[in-house]
Structure 1
């Protein structure tokens, strides 16, 4: 080997060693940072347990050690902090100083290492790391940049875009990069730059308003004495059998789990444990120890490993109580869990299924990521297992449906909830709005990352498909955009119903024309008529357009309403002349995005149990305008997830799931004409402008139908462009009168939305804590 070859080989080996370097980066404080060891004692008390204090709104570290090589890298960060939420930024100086154009944004996820791809260009001069954007205290547990092969980076990039970016929603992972490169050629852009921009857009830039840790610290707890007084007054004190399958858990977590049962304030319980032939002999020792400690604990030791369903059924055979509660071997119950269950059964003695809110436990025992759930929401249960933990079932029902079914491992609790709920009336399914279950988010657990276990999605898909097709054989069920989520494609009737779209307008051809043209051109549902309800237009261009479009397209008719503007009255008038079996309330500033938007709405509206159906609406800048209506926000109602990014999953992925909601906006709303007529249409007398859609939805719900919002009908909405804002005294007086009417008429329902949760805010529209 000559000297030149040896030199090249040495250089290559140094490059490889540098690329594979896994050592953490050295951080040197650059600005607005103080280590706590340098603070006075009284200052350190405010941030006990944290290593650093950010003393300004732009704290900065300089990162030293060898600079990363050009190419793809993974930024990995784990951090605890005292803020409601935090996001870090990595700045790359390529000779132009540190600037936002060359920064990498990463929102922190509690209890875990947060990761994202980024690309290092040539030439890299320096790195800066900003741990948060405000004053506060924090500890960095992990900070690393790992070099990635282009193949692996491209695979991760394609996976995230396919899962989370709207441009690639229906594109298979293997087709994402070819599609991205075609788009780049069409737009005459570098594909690399476009890919990074699209990837960056999948990271939500929203801040939580209220820290869960702080929220927990301010919650009032019932004293044990008070709990015992309540228990003594219960007419019935049912025995609750806790079903616990066990297989090789971490011993300290198993002990915490068992201790959480022993610490229950409600004493009438039985712990039924099935050890599924654990290979760790110490597991048997721990279980025997606890069984000897308390006679309410019973253990069966299986001779062969049968997995979680078989083990759960073995534990179920021990159950003597009228109700069974499901517990995993590394999770914990709140000390109040069974007390709240017994209390709920006192109020709902016919209940067959009860479930609570839940949160997660990190590696250090910290509680985070609370899931505050709605009341019974059957369409949401088809889209995801929102019931989950703590699930409590009437024992006889569980045995009647055959217990946990083998073959559904990973989603056995979803399968059980579907089969049991199918045998119950809605008022027999009870939500307990307290966090009663702490789900362990350990490495490799489903709690930490639902994508960790792909088989859980497959098992859940099988469970939902069986449940749906048993009732509606022609329905199709497919995996949703996120792990463990599902989409049901309900069938259209053999004879497609005519849909009458009602579009009120006055002048404003620049708004009306794009709306009508887009509906006519971008709608693949064939049986529709579009009724333009003209409210005293005088603009020549508008009149000419309405005459022209109604002449050239037989689907369009123009009806004149020569009265003062009253949204309710205009639509009621249009409904009288509508020929369709289905009515669509459509604002004149709506533009469809996906051609099958109307097909999706019709599929849902044709279901006999469904009343009003709403769509997913965006502002022109691709932020959310409407994802359903939440009652009580702002006193009457507000739009769920308003201003969220188009790529956002939303609260527990609800922005991407069909679900039952109390109301949807009349800007794009479908319902059967017979239902509209049965409830008396829109309220002309009291709700001429605002809240008439909410009032309609509540009347429809009161008539026994479920209202529904679907994310699979997407449209742009240039909100209230044609009507204008309530910005003068007359309009404000009218708006106040309409709000008072809603409060007087629907006050009890406005204060308790079953599709929401009493622990969530009624001030904002972002599902933050109350």
Structure 2
């Protein structure tokens, strides 16, 4: 009890004296991957640069001040050591060093039991200046006033006194201790200065950008009218105004806003809508006499549309000022486009932009798993009219249902890799909580079932119970085709024999033959060959590949096959679902697909293969972005549990139809060791086919032995010469991500 009183007494004295505490100069002592260069600047030498902060400084609320100079934005991430070492669990990222010369300060809380502070500056190899680092003790009152001012500027609220009244009400309700704890937790939340915040700073439109945009709009030969469709129902006034204002602020001005109020019961709705429609002739409003929910309300708004294209907008969301400009700029390059979609992020209750979704280009298989392209979605108006608009009974997934019907009529679809839409995160919205509207999942299931019937897809839908509004579409096998299973990487006859036993035991589909590619001497494999010839008869054959390798070896094996589909499988693969081959064949039988691959994991639960991304890796040919990550990782926006289109797949486990293999003339014989499977996948894409990665066909590769692409300068040069355009930017990997560090924003 005495020690506790001493601690409380010290903390109280600390708070009293903190206001006038002088700044304490801090010395940065390089700990790892950073040195002082000859110009007296810090130079990062590796991927984990860090400093230990030396100097006398107090704990509790502090003001951290610094001077910096850098060509790239750099985070300021603090690791706290309580005496047991540093860990990711105990970190604070209160700010960052922006580009250019800068004097900064930030307030945050250092726990009283902190022993050592470490400062990390990101993972990029950069040269920067960081000097005059100081820490000053402040009081809670100082901190509170700073936070109130910050909140005022961020939320565009009125006077400080008005905000203080709200604070007093909170204090009365929660108590001073709970309120201060709330402020502390908000202050130490790293999202304010995370990677995405830095990206936003780097990608803000400058005065020169705006000047270019205005001149570009004036020079556009094609300036179509864009209609916004906005159903409204009982939304808070602040969000409704922000939504409408975001349309009014558009740089491209040839728009109309078509609003349908769905018999709202809140008085402010009609007052606000009348105010805007009376002020702006381009804002049209219809007031429904009876509430019909979002599909009928959207159709009422559709009836007001006169534009050549229309954009869908939710009543509590916002769009970027340059949204329509980017849409029309793209249309000036290609007037044939029918659907355009952009990237999006979310806006929390404090008006902070968080959780960006940088999307792939059009990915039809992913689209059948969830409505990934979402907002901002722009459609040719005539297609919406021909489709009959929104359907009643699909509320909650009405956009998904509409998009499913429209994408059956056109494939002229384009993606703009820019954040043009901001979802509002409020408690009752699906942006804030995917389970907030469970009926949306049921409606999405119904819409997808309808689409399967219309498209004559012979298959079934698997629901992902833990992930609302996500589904998996399985394709059934038809006509019972013969499949040639080509077993590769067979250096050990005993191991291959074990694999063949496992293959037969774990494969329910029975119409297959087996071709083994031996990489061992003929004497050692003769006994195994005899065993399986006796057992399978003409369903088994083998070839010795000692004289062949790479593409030549695989093509030679295919020449012995009689099947309609060729499935290549590494003998170290272990299967865990007897229906695996049906799932692979079902997709391979689709007329639009070429290479089908699967989820490959290691025997120690790490991801080995989830589809290659072009342009990644040390030599910028291709790499798996998720390789080495735990299988518990769901991927970005569920990428690891949805069927996806990818550019290329691993040669350890994939299937191709004979028809396409022959049409594309097999594997390129110029690639005798590496990249031939990637080359084939790119030939397929070039010919108009799509390649597919299946998350529900999950296999294990023993001993983590995967066919990696080792150093082969000649073949690298050949690939870059042949596929330079494809390798520059993967269609399914957003250009805002780094090519050096997968799925890290390019800042």
- TM-score bucket (shorter structure): 0.7 to 0.9
Deviation at 1:553, TM superposition (A): 4.4
Deviation at 1:289, TM superposition (A): 1.5
1:639 to 600, 624, 627: 624
Q: Determine whether 1:360 maps to 2:346.
A: yes
Q: Determine whether 1:212 maps to 2:189.
A: no
**Conserved? CA contact 1:490–1:604, under 8 Å:** yes
Deviation at 1:401, TM superposition (A): 0.6
- Equivalent position of 1:491 in the other structure: 476
Q: Determine whether 1:618 maps to 2:601.
A: yes
**Conserved? CA contact 2:52–2:118, under 8 Å:** no
Q: Determine whether 1:585 maps to 2:568.
A: yes
- Equivalent position of 2:697 in the other structure: 713
> Relative to structure 1, is the Cα distance of residues 709 and 272 closer, same or farther in structure 2, using a 3 angstrom cutoff?
same
> Relative to structure 1, is the Cα distance of residues 504 and 556 closer, same or farther in structure 2, using a 3 angstrom cutoff?
farther
**Conserved? CA contact 2:645–2:732, under 8 Å:** yes
- Equivalent position of 1:277 in the other structure: 263
Offset from partner CA, 1:290-345 (integer Å, 9 cap, x none): 22222211111111111111111111111111111111111110000000011011
> Relative to structure 1, is the Cα distance of residues 646 and 539 closer, same or farther in structure 2, using a 3 angstrom cutoff?
farther
**Conserved? CA contact 2:545–2:553, under 8 Å:** no
> Relative to structure 1, is the Cα distance of residues 312 and 451 closer, same or farther in structure 2, using a 3 angstrom cutoff?
same
**Conserved? CA contact 2:652–2:706, under 8 Å:** no
2:492 to 508, 511, 529: 508
Deviation at 1:655, TM superposition (A): 0.8
- Equivalent position of 1:449 in the other structure: 433
- Equivalent position of 1:564 in the other structure: 547
Q: Determine whether 1:655 maps to 2:652.
A: no
2:667 to 682, 703, 714: 682
Deviation at 1:105, TM superposition (A): 7.0
Q: Determine whether 1:573 maps to 2:556.
A: yes
Distance 1:668 1:88 in 2: 42
- Equivalent position of 1:755 in the other structure: 732
- Equivalent position of 1:743 in the other structure: 720
Deviation at 1:449, TM superposition (A): 2.0
- Equivalent position of 1:464 in the other structure: 448
Matches within 5 A, 1:374-453: 374-424=360-410, 426=411, 428-453=412-437
Distance 1:106 1:419 in 2: 49
Aligned length, in residue pairs: 609
**Conserved? CA contact 2:434–2:468, under 8 Å:** yes
SS at match of 2:559: helix
**Conserved? CA contact 1:88–1:130, under 8 Å:** no
**Conserved? CA contact 1:209–1:768, under 8 Å:** no
Distance 2:297 2:92 in 1: 37
Deviation at 1:558, TM superposition (A): 4.1
Offset from partner CA, 1:344-368 (integer Å, 9 cap, x none): 1111101111110000101111111
Deviation at 1:511, TM superposition (A): 4.5
Distance 2:117 2:248 in 1: 41
**Conserved? CA contact 1:504–1:588, under 8 Å:** yes
> Relative to structure 1, is the Cα distance of residues 689 and 283 closer, same or farther in structure 2, using a 3 angstrom cutoff?
same
| Cα RMSD for the two superposed structures | 3.9
- Equivalent position of 2:311 in the other structure: 325
Offset from partner CA, 1:425-454 (integer Å, 9 cap, x none): x3x211111110001111132112212211
1:666 to 630, 646, 651: 651
- Equivalent position of 2:686 in the other structure: 702
Distance 1:130 1:649 in 2: 35
Deviation at 1:620, TM superposition (A): 1.7
Matches within 5 A, 1:287-366: 287-366=273-352
1:518 to 502, 505, 518: 502
Offset from partner CA, 1:592-614 (integer Å, 9 cap, x none): 12222211111110112211101
Deviation at 1:667, TM superposition (A): 1.1
Deviation at 1:748, TM superposition (A): 0.5
SS at match of 1:452: coil
**Runs of at least 4 residues of structure 1 off by over 6 A?**
35-44, 54-57, 82-91, 97-100, 103-110, 127-134, 207-210, 722-725
> Relative to structure 1, is the Cα distance of residues 432 and 505 closer, same or farther in structure 2, using a 3 angstrom cutoff?
closer
TM-score, structure 1 normalization: 0.72
Distance 1:260 1:746 in 2: 42
More deviation, 521-530/428-437: 521-530
Offset from partner CA, 1:478-500 (integer Å, 9 cap, x none): 3235211111121211x311111
Deviation at 1:564, TM superposition (A): 3.5
Deviation at 1:546, TM superposition (A): 4.4
SS at match of 2:379: strand
SS at match of 2:681: helix
Offset from partner CA, 1:126-177 (integer Å, 9 cap, x none): x99999997699x999xxxxxxxxxxxxxxxxxxxxxxxxxxxxxxxxxxxx
SS at match of 2:253: coil
**Unaligned stretches of 5+ residues in structure 2:** 1-7, 12-16, 27-50, 61-72, 95-111, 122-134, 145-190
TM-score, structure 2 normalization: 0.74
SS at match of 1:611: strand
